[in-house]
Amino acid sequence: MDWQTFLAHIESDGLLLESAALAGLDESVPCCPGWTVRDVVEHTGVVHRQKTLILHGRLLENPAPPDLPESDLIGWYRTGLAELVSALRDSDPAERVFTWFPPDQSIGFWFRRMAHETLIHRVDAEQGHGEVSSIDAALAADGIDEVLTMYVGGYPVWGTFEPGTSTARIECHDEKSAWDVRFGLFTGASPTSGRTHNLDAFVVVDRQSDPAVTIRGAAADINLWLWGRGNMDRLEVSGEQKVAIGLRQICEEAMD
């Protein structure tokens, strides 16, 4: 997916989030216990503005998040979205800036990440009102890839992944995309926090001949399921369902 397409999705999904906010800020968000639509708008607005600070300053360290407004939350959010879109449009995706993903310290990272961040949170806001707008299948398939290969899958260089024997396959029937993942154990001590990790994990691997489970569905349904915004009952699960449940649990822990 090219940079301009990511940018178009940030803008369109951002405006859909605003529309949901205009319908009411006090509704509960079912997938985020304790959150209302107001919390979604505040969170997304802070994320957008923080990334704009990185882009404008070509920062190599993460800036402090901006303060919330004292009034006109939706207007504040709308302005922040427009500023993010403008900052990305005026940026070279190859230029170096801070990101939280060491292998990719480029502005291009934020094109992709903000497209998926904005999509997931507009779904949150819309679910608060009980109806979700359509999701672009190509963007959803890219979102699955982001989760499996970058956001959750894999491991940092300071840790060790010990592969197990169990694998799972994920297939999109509308985008003709597929991924195989191998489960295992990640161990290591973070050089930043000093925290020791001993976690169930997975990595994307070459196609396997006999996965323990195959999960099929529309790209949008799979993406929302991985993000905890959709149910498994919209997917076709063939094989060991407990392995599919385990995959989702790993995603939940990593995204918490």
Strand bridging mode 213-217 / 159-172: parallel
Query: How far apart are alpha carbons 24 and 43 in whole angstroms?
Result: 16
Lowest mean pLDDT among 53-57, 143-147, 173-177, 194-198: 194-198
- Is 57 in the same domain as 82? yes
Instruction: Answer yes or no: is pLDDT of 41 > 90.
Output: yes
Q: Residue 166: count other Cβ atoms within 10 Å of its Cβ.
A: 18
Domain range holding 16? 3-133
Percent of the chain at pLDDT exceeding 90: 87
- State how many domains the chain has: 2
Instruction: Tell me the average pLDDT of the chain.
Output: 95
**Residue 246 and residue 153 share a domain:** yes
pLDDT (average), residues 120-129: 98
Residues 7 and 86 in one domain: yes
Same structural domain, 191 and 111? no
CATH label of the domain that carries residue 173: 3.30.1050
For residue 155, what pLDDT is reported?
Answer: 78
Q: Is 198 exposed, middle or buried (0-12, 13-18, 19+ CB in 10 A)?
A: exposed
pLDDT tens digits for range 137-167: 999 999 999 999 998 887 778 889 899 999 9
| Domain boundary residue, one of 113, 133, 153 | 133
Q: What mean pLDDT is predicted for residues 15-39?
A: 97
Cβ(237)–Cβ(217) below 8 Å: no
- Percentage, residues of the chain above pLDDT 70: 100
For the record, the structure tokens of 55 come out as 């882009």
| Residue pLDDT, tens place only, 182-240 | 999 999 888 877 888 888 899 999 998 899 999 999 999 999 999 999 999 999 999 99
How confident is the model over 94-101, as a mean pLDDT? 96
Tokens of 168: 């799972």
The residue with tokens 């997975």 is 202
Task: Provide the 3-class DSSP secondary structure of residue 64.
Answer: coil
User: Do 221 and 181 share a structural domain?
Assistant: yes
Residues 255, 152 contacting (CB under 8 angstroms): yes
Q: Give the C-alpha separation, 210 to 224, whole Å.
A: 26
Q: Residue 95's domain is classified under what CATH number?
A: 1.20.120
Q: Is the CB of residue 46 less than 8 Å from the CB of residue 78?
A: no
